[in-house]
Amino acid sequence: MSAAGSALAWAVGEEGLAGPSRGRALAMLWNGSTWSKADLSHLDYTGRLSDVATVCSTTAWSVGLPTGDASPLLRWDGSTWRDASFPGRGETGVRLESVAVGADRRVWICGVRDGAARLLLGDGQRWTWLDPLPVASANLYRIVLRTPNEVWVSGDQASGGGWAGLVARWNGTWTVLPPLTGARLSISDVYAAAADDVWAVGTDAGVGGPPGRPGNPSLAHWDGTAWNRVQPGFTVGSLSGIAGDAQGRAAWISGWNYQDQSRSTYLRREGSGWTVARGPAGTATAPYLNDVTAVPGTGGFWSVGMTSTVPAPPTEAYTERLEA
């Protein structure tokens, strides 16, 4: 999800799932009063859109999971979504995972090419693949722009028979932070207020347990020297997204509490710590939140997800608006 102001936000994903069959790409636009579905029927793409970034009403970018040879790159021109060309488009093994756009309109994308995790940087016309991340068997799931020339990425890397959480910074060269240990830990989002003030959220899938056992939420802070693990306030579930406030501090985290599904679950920054906050009460089980993002120019936030943890009918797209 991405917001450019109180009257402009995009959320992307997939609709029309039914059992093992593939669904259809979904893009939803907020105009300040209602959500509407953008027409994607003219695109030769039927997979899931994994991320979106917008800065104004005429500029947005989205990437999706591969269907066939490679991931798509889509561009919104103010009236429609169109396919965009980039080096490696159509190559087997090219995967675009997450996208960020700066105020200078440069587009940053994390993904995979030539078997290595790396970044793709462009302005819509010229694109360049940057040096590969110096980590073997790495997957990147999120890219976040801190300054016009500094981005942070998060994901996971192979570790023994499982995987460990991965966070790295690019500012002309790579700086890879020590891995976050876990049995099967993936970092779904990262927020960097400074090089020595970085928060990472994710889920440790763990090992063993009954079929379908949820993982454990993971929250950690990098102080410039070491990772410090923080108890999130619940023990079974996940943490999916993190957003900062107007002062540049990490402020809200979206999550899912398996042990209490009476309403949606967040972590809210309180001073130097975090406290569990709950969304509005409803008649159904709590929604599964995938992301949270700040609304520029306001003190509010959007969160987005599904009305159920299982992405199949009758699950529907779901959003909540948080006010500071």
Q: Which residues pair with 302 in a beta bridge?
A: 293, 321
**Count of CA atoms in the C-beta half-sphere (13 A) of 8:** 15
CA dihedral 211, 309, 316, 311 (to 10 degrees): -40
Q: 200, 152 in Cβ contact below 8 A?
A: no
Which regions of the chain are under pLDDT 50?
none
Quick one: pLDDT at residue 209?
Answer: 61
Nearest to 56 by CA among 104, 99, 20, 91: 104
Quick one: pLDDT at residue 125?
Answer: 92
Measure the CA–CA gap between 41 and 239, rounded to whole angstroms.
33
Quick one: pLDDT at residue 210?
Answer: 61
Quick one: pLDDT at residue 19?
Answer: 65
| Superfamily of segment(s) 2-322 | Kelch-type beta propeller (2.120.10.80)
> Which residues make Cβ contacts (< 8 Å) with residue 137, sequence separation at least 6?
157, 158
pLDDT in tens, 30-57: 999 999 999 999 998 888 999 999 999 9
Nearest to 301 by CA among 260, 262, 254, 256: 254
Quick one: pLDDT at residue 135?
Answer: 97
Please give the share of the chain, as a percent, with pLDDT higher than 70: 95
Total Cβ atoms within 10 A of residue 52: 25
Measure the CA–CA gap between 168 and 179, rounded to whole angstroms.
10
pLDDT in tens, 171-187: 999 999 999 999 899 99
Quick one: pLDDT at residue 90?
Answer: 85
Preceding peptide of 20 cis, ω within 30°: no
Nearest to 201 by CA among 99, 305, 290, 310: 290
**Can you give the residue ranges of every domain in the chain?**
2-322
Quick one: pLDDT at residue 311?
Answer: 75
